[in-house]
Amino acid sequence: MKREKHLGLVISNELHYKLKYIAEYDGRSLNGQVIYLINKCIREFEKENGTIEEQE
């Protein structure tokens, strides 16, 4: 059974405000925006470097 992982981040007030602003502009929650950006980063990395295989 796969379980979701929790990731706590410590960020500046300015970064939090700006990220939340962009998330709301795009119609996403702050969490949804972070997940979107992480996935975008992974797609770009894999496009240049190949697929990252998940370890069990």
pLDDT in tens, 2-52: 788 999 999 999 999 999 999 999 999 999 999 999 999 999 999 999 999
pTM attached to this predicted model: 0.84
Give residue for tokens 């997940």: 35
Alpha carbon dihedral 51, 1, 28, 22, in 10-degree steps, equals -50
